[in-house]
Amino acid sequence: MPLLESEKDDAEQLTSGTMKAVVFRGPGQFQLEAKPVPKAGPGDAIIRVRLTTICGTDIHIIRGEYPVHSGLTIGHEAVGTIHELGAGVTGYKMGQRVLVGAITPCGQCEPCLGGHTSQCGGPIGGWRLGNTIDGVQAEYFRVPFAQANLAAIPDHLADEDVILLADIASTGFSAAESGKIRLGDTVAVFAQGPIGLCATLGARLMGASEIFAIDTDPNRLKMSAQFGATVTLSADRDPVKEIMDRTNGRGVDVAIEALGVQTTFENALRVLTPGGILSSVGVYSGHLSIPLEGFHAGLADQTIVTTLCPGGKERMRRLMRLVETKRMNLRPLLTHTFDLENILEAYKLFESRQQGVLKVAIRVK
Ligand SMILES: [Zn+2]
Ligand SMILES: [Zn+2]
């Protein structure tokens, strides 16, 4: 039987045994390189990538602000098809389309069984892909603990419908969830990048009444109104004073920090009402301190909570249900599309924040 075009590609890949991958070589040094196609060990799966994207965390990595080892393939958000299954992985079919979360917990260690799957094996331990093991900005990647981490994608959902659930939606929603937003709560979300926008959406889904969204970029503020913000505020115009004025000096029940810098953290603390929760999901890459006058001497019953993106197939399944039932649509966040061959251009655009870029879809053929 003659091979289909797509099967010919497969055959070539298998015989050549190499693939293209985005490899980190040191601060400011990363490029597309040829690497061997990974093999599945027991419990692993090899995924052939269809769609990936670039995360703000990848930018921290390429700048050398978040340490990873030289030679690592970066990227941690992917939709693909099952190419190989290791021993012990059951209930899946070859060629099946799956979403893999950015965080791939084992599901068996003490933190996992204690409910902190993102901290699998130790602090930040659940984040393996593109951090401690080769990531997904490649033609193929290896998923460890595949049984816990391959989420089958319903046929009628496109890759673009679900790709952003792998990280930014899961992270943004977790900011709202960790903030324990109650029906009618007033919420402020500091920074409206992709994660902040998803935090705003999460606050709306959880039943917040007023949602203040703060950013410097008017385009992002416009998008935040679409995602559920009731008031958009420019970060350049004293957002703390604005929020305190608009809440008659009360402040907000939940303040979400979605950038990872001193100013937004401080502002989040300064608008927090006594008993309120500061929910932080930004990735901090410098010194962070608590301003005394915003901290009420540590006596205001306030909570500061941090969360790393929840992963695992059950989290992905539930987030896909939100898309299936049309409770949300994340596609407006995918503002640009590139092929893997042109991913360095995509990095430039994403880093520049020009042309209204929010997230870039990277197609892998
Ligand atoms: Zn990320
Ligand atoms: Zn674990």
3-class SS string, 286-316: CCCCCCHHHHHHHCCCCEEEECCCCCCHHHH
Looking at all shown ligands, the one closest to residue 149's CA atom is: 2
pLDDT band at 278 (very low <50, low <70, confident <90, very high): very high
**What spacing in Å lies between the alpha carbon of 107 and ligand 2's midpoint?**
5
277 pLDDT exceeds 50? yes
**What spacing in Å lies between the alpha carbon of 103 and ligand 1's midpoint?**
9
Residue 1: its pLDDT value, please? 42
**What spacing in Å lies between the alpha carbon of 2 and ligand 1's midpoint?**
41
pLDDT band at 212 (very low <50, low <70, confident <90, very high): very high
**What spacing in Å lies between the alpha carbon of 310 and ligand 2's midpoint?**
12
Residue 16: its pLDDT value, please? 55
Residue 270: its pLDDT value, please? 97
Residue 294: its pLDDT value, please? 84
26 residue type, one letter: G
Residues 334/349, Cβ–Cβ less than 8 Å: no
Looking at all shown ligands, the one closest to residue 359's CA atom is: 1
Looking at all shown ligands, the one closest to residue 107's CA atom is: 2
C-alpha angle with apex 168: 162 to 173, nearest 5 degrees? 95
H or E element, residue 3: none
Q: How far apart are the first and last CA of the chain?
A: 23
**What spacing in Å lies between the alpha carbon of 83 and ligand 1's midpoint?**
24
Looking at all shown ligands, the one closest to residue 145's CA atom is: 2
Average pLDDT, the chain: 95
Tokens standing for residue 35? 């690497």
5 pLDDT exceeds 50? no
Looking at all shown ligands, the one closest to residue 117's CA atom is: 2
Residues 44/86, Cβ–Cβ less than 8 Å: yes
**What spacing in Å lies between the alpha carbon of 123 and ligand 2's midpoint?**
11
pLDDT 10s digits, 100-134:
999 999 999 999 999 999 999 999 999 999 999 99
pLDDT 10s digits, 130-186:
999 999 999 999 999 999 999 999 999 999 999 999 999 999 999 999 999 999 999
Full DSSP string of 170-234 = HHHHHHHHHTTPPTT--EEEE--SHHHHHHHHHHHHTT-S-EEEEES-HHHHHHHHHTT-SEEEE
**What spacing in Å lies between the alpha carbon of 132 and ligand 2's midpoint?**
14
Tokens standing for residue 110? 């003490």
Looking at all shown ligands, the one closest to residue 312's CA atom is: 2
Lowest mean pLDDT across 15-19, 105-109, 178-182, 210-214? 15-19
**What spacing in Å lies between the alpha carbon of 269 and ligand 1's midpoint?**
24
292 pLDDT exceeds 90? no
2 pLDDT exceeds 80? no
- The arithmetic mean of pLDDT across residues 70-94, rounded, is 98
**What spacing in Å lies between the alpha carbon of 133 and ligand 2's midpoint?**
15
CA atoms within a 13 Å half-sphere pointing along the CA-CB vector of 293: 1
Looking at all shown ligands, the one closest to residue 193's CA atom is: 1
**What spacing in Å lies between the alpha carbon of 238 and ligand 1's midpoint?**
29
**What spacing in Å lies between the alpha carbon of 149 and ligand 2's midpoint?**
12
9 pLDDT exceeds 90? no
Going by the DSSP 8-state scheme, the letter that residue 153 receives in this structure is P
Looking at all shown ligands, the one closest to residue 113's CA atom is: 2
Domains, the chain: 5-167+309-363 (3.90.180.10), 170-306 (3.40.50.720)
- The arithmetic mean of pLDDT across residues 237-258, rounded, is 98
- The arithmetic mean of pLDDT across residues 249-269, rounded, is 97
